[in-house]
Structures are given as structure tokens and as C-alpha cells.
Structure 1
Amino acid sequence: MTPETPSPITMPLPSALAAVESEIARACRDARRDRASVTLIAVSKTFDADAITPVIAAGQRVFGENRVQEAKAKWPGLISAYPGIALHLIGPLQSNKAKEAVALFDAIHSIDRPSICEALAKEIVSQKRQLELFVQINTGEEPQKAGVAPGEADAFIANCREKYGLAISGLMCIPPVNDAPAPHFALTAKIAARNGLKNLSMGMSADFAVAIQFGATHVRVGSAIFGKR
């Protein structure tokens, strides 16, 4: 967020959401992009339904969660009460949670290994659901972080499509915390382009404006909307 953007900690949640929306619009103008080309995912992980409801009431309809079990505990009631909610899984997925994930989520951003591909492919067919699917790229090749190494991305994406029949719609990345994000966003965009992928899940509270400059179609913003966890 830019220095003039008010801190979400001192603002009501709807005002914080409006500030983020304003910053996204400004970044889109700077990049000569249509605001409609960027989806804001409000990352509600660790926040309960009472904290999420004002953000829904302010008009937000796309939300992100890190864990299947946490989402399963709080979202079915909210989805029932508020039509048009889209739920994105942005955290790691375990194969044994694939059935629940496919049933609950509209998009999964963390595909990164064959066992997940196999489990998701089976459940998507079984449940007759269509999800937005993103391959996670570990652009910094950090051993502690999930994701496919950049050098293995093309082959992995091809396997997702050809071996498992997954309709991959885009790529996701999380740059190393101490690195400038721009080179990581640029690398992810380059991998997406050569694989014919239009969607890029890039950018969080501190760097989503930069991500938009590099073509992000989905930005994952949590603390700038909900405050510190």
C-alpha cells in the first residue's frame, strides 16, 4: 500500500476495504488496465464470521482461506446467508482434504505435486464441479515453501493437463519475504505466458500494486482489509 493509504488498524473494516479498492483502481490506471481485470481476494484466514460479515455487507464477494478445516467450520453458513460468495483456497492442500476442498471452494491456488493433481482430478469428476485451478510456483526455490520450481514448471503444467486432465487457469506465487517482489512477479508472468495461462495470482497487502503492474489478475489481500492477525 502507498504511504497515503490509511492504516486498516485505525479504520472500520468497510473503510479499509474501500481504501484497498481505491489503491487497486489507482494501480490499474497506472498500468493502463481495466479495473475489472483484477479480482480482489479478501483473505479472511483466522478471522471469524463476525469479522467477515461487515466486509461482505460492504460488497466484497471473493474470499481466501488457508485451511480447509477452518473454512469448513465458518463458511457454509455465510455462503447460505449471502448469495454470490466465491471461496478460494490459497494455502497448501493435503491429498486427504481434496474431497472437502472441491466441495467447498470455487478456486484452488496451491497445486504443486502429482498427488494433489490425482486427488483433485478424481474429485472434480466425481462431484461434477468446475474450479479455477492455479499451479503454485516457488519462484525463490525456498526449501521450506510449497510450490513447483521454475525450471520444472513447464513439465508440471503439461502433466496437469495431459496426464490428469486438469484445466489449469493460472499460476500463483509468494515471493521470498526479504526479496523485492517485482522479479518474482515477472518470472511468474513469463512462465504463464509461454504456457498460455491468462490468470496470475500475485500480490498481497504489501505489494499488490506492484503485482498489478506485472499483470496480476488476482490479488490476495488480508491485513490491509481485516487488520493484523
Structure 2
Amino acid sequence: MTKPNECLNAVQDQIAKAARLASRKPEAVCLIAISKTRSAEEIQPLLDSGHRVFGENRVQEAAAKWPALREAYDDVELNLVGQLQSNKAEDAVQLFDAIHSLDRASLVKALAKAMDKLDRRIPCYVQVNIGEESQKGGCAIDELPALLESARSAGIDVAGLMCVPPSAVNPAPYFALLAKLANDNGLSGLSMGMSGDFETAIKLGATHIRVGTALFGRRV
């Protein structure tokens, strides 16, 4: 069985290679280790290897395991990459350092209220339903300008865009479209690419990639 630190080194090598092929600097790509459903014991080896940027899908799960880990590693950056219910906005603002799933006006209102209450401003990525799939979260492409205007007016720091392209198809056109949408709207952050396609995402401008399986192995 491959050790987590070996997996981390392998992924970092892949990132560096993909970045060089795109004439980009490897350090321009942030690796978010997706630790959803992983125990503190599974996460620990990556922390011990020096990795500090992690992502979780659920507020409740993150709240159960990360406070204790952060006592030992206070420089961890925690990202929420899953769908966020408006009634969990305050918990999310308190726990996370960035949110990658801002996708509707009601959530803009809830997050702005939570940030004001806690006096804590955290960057957010607007999730775009890039493949127009009914089963996925994300705002519709034609609704993006209005949502961005709403978020900015509410004082939310919009760091960029995020997407999850349709599965079992070439992701490149979807990554390219997200990059164009970001550029058209004056945004530099691109949260796109996962274990199976992050090299393609890097070549098309990803600034943040969300990698779980390639680091932790497949779930059993």
C-alpha cells in the first residue's frame, strides 16, 4: 500500500510537470487535499509531511475532526468545497478559511450576515453549473453576472469561480469555459480539477485543484 507522503510527492510532481507544460509556475497552483470521510488518523500523515491545505464537503463533519487537529497544526487552511445550506452559513464562516460553493442569492445573504456578525471575512468562490446538469449545484451560466454583483455588493470577497464538469466526458472544454467566464468577470481564481483531471485543469489555468483519491486512495 502506497504511503500518504509518497502519494503527496507523486501528486506534487504531476502538478509541477503540468504547470511547466503550460509555462506556469508550480507554486501558482494550490493543492487542496480533500479529506471528506477521512479520519483524523488518515489525515495526520499528510499533516506530518508538511501539507496544510485541506478541503471538506460537510460543515458538521469538519467541525467534528478539525478543531482538535488545528490545535496541533495552527497554520492549516480549511476549505469548504461541498454544497452549503444557508442555515449552516454562520458555522461555515466560523470554521472555514474559504468557501468554494457560493451558488445562489439566498446564500449570499446568509454568508454576508454571518461574516458581519462574526466580524470575519473569508474569500468565496462562486460555483458555476458548467455542464448545466440538473443534479449538480452551482449557478446557471447566464445568472453568473447577477450573482457576482450581489455578492460584491454584500461585501463578500469573491476570489474566483469553481466548477465540477460532467463525468465521463472530456473536461477540457468545461475548464476552458470556466476560465473564460472568470476572465470576462475580472476574476483570477479558478477552483477546478480533481484526482482524475487536475493535470488538464492546470493546463487550462486552475489556481486551486481539489484532490482526494490520488492522495488518500480509494474509499473502501
**Secondary structure at 1:143 match in 2:** coil
Partner of 1:200: 190
Matched, 1:60 2:46: no
The normalised TM-score by structure 2 is 0.98
CA RMSD of aligned residues (A): 0.8
Matched, 1:48 2:39: yes
Partner of 2:155: 165
Deviates more, 1:179-188 or 1:85-94: 179-188
**Secondary structure at 1:108 match in 2:** strand
Partner of 1:175: 165
CA distance in 2, matches of 1:16, 1:166: 35
Q: Which runs of 5+ in 1 are unaligned?
A: 1-9
Trace 1:79-228 onto structure 2 (pairs within 5 A).
79-162=70-153, 164-228=154-218
Q: CA deviation at 1:34?
A: 1.1
How many residue pairs match? The answer is 219
Q: Which runs of 5+ in 2 are unaligned?
A: none
Q: CA deviation at 1:130?
A: 2.2
**Secondary structure at 1:144 match in 2:** coil
The normalised TM-score by structure 1 is 0.94
Q: Is the contact made by 2:102 and 2:125 (CA closer than 8 Å) also made in structure 1?
A: yes
Q: CA deviation at 1:115?
A: 1.2
CA distance in 2, matches of 1:135, 1:159: 11
Report 1 or 2 for greater relative contact order, CA contacts < 8 Å, sequence distance ≥ 6: 1
CA distance in 2, matches of 1:30, 1:110: 29
CA distance in 1, matches of 2:151, 2:193: 24
